[in-house]
Amino acid sequence: MSAFQGLLKKDFGISKFWFLLWIIFLAVFLIIPLAIEIYFHMPLTVIPVAVILLLGFHIFFLPAMLLSMLRLEGKTQLWLYNQQSSKALFLSKITVSLVYQLITQVFLTGVGLMIYQYYKNQIHIKAADLFNGITVVNAGIALLGLYLSCWAMFYWTIYHSLGKFPGVKNWRWLVIVLLFIAYNMLSTFLARIEFLKEVVNKWNIPVFMNANGKFRQGGWEIYLKAVDLPVLEFVLYVIVALSLFLISCWLLDRKVEV
Partner 1 sequence: MTVKLSNVSKRYGKDFSLKNVSLAFETGKIYGLLGPNGSGKSTTLKLIAGLVYPNGGKVEVDNEEVTRKICRKVAYLTELDMFYPSFTVGEMVEFYVSQFADFDPKKAEQLLQEMKLDPGKKIKQLSKGNRGRLKLVLALSRKSQVLLLDEPFSGLDPMVRDSIVKSLLSYINFDEQTVIIATHEIDEIEPLLDEAIVIFYGDIIGQKNVETLREEEGLSVLEWFKSTAAQMEGKK
Contacting positions for partner 1 (CB under 8 A): 1-3, 5-7, 9-10, 13-14, 17, 72, 76-78, 80-84, 86, 164-167, 253-254, 257-258
Question: Cβ 251 to partner 1, closest distance in Å?
Answer: 12
Angle at 234 between CA 175 and CA 135, to 5 degrees: 115
- Cβ atoms of 252 and 87 closer than 8 Å: no
Query: Residue 124 or residue 172: which is nearer to partner 1 going by CB?
Result: 172
Query: Residue 241 or residue 252: which is nearer to partner 1 going by CB?
Result: 252
Question: Cβ 167 to partner 1, closest distance in Å?
Answer: 6
Question: Cβ 258 to partner 1, closest distance in Å?
Answer: 4
Question: Cβ 45 to partner 1, closest distance in Å?
Answer: 41
Query: Residue 81 or residue 215: which is nearer to partner 1 going by CB?
Result: 81
d(CA 154, CA 162): 12
- Cβ atoms of 93 and 11 closer than 8 Å: yes
CB proximity list for 97: less than 8 A, separation 6 or greater: 15, 61, 62, 63, 65, 66, 69, 149
- Cβ atoms of 244 and 154 closer than 8 Å: yes
Query: Residue 105 or residue 161: which is nearer to partner 1 going by CB?
Result: 161
- Cβ atoms of 176 and 155 closer than 8 Å: yes
Burial of 108 (0-12, 13-18, 19+ CB in 10 A): buried
Question: Cβ 255 to partner 1, closest distance in Å?
Answer: 8
- Cβ atoms of 150 and 244 closer than 8 Å: yes
Query: Residue 7 or residue 96: which is nearer to partner 1 going by CB?
Result: 7
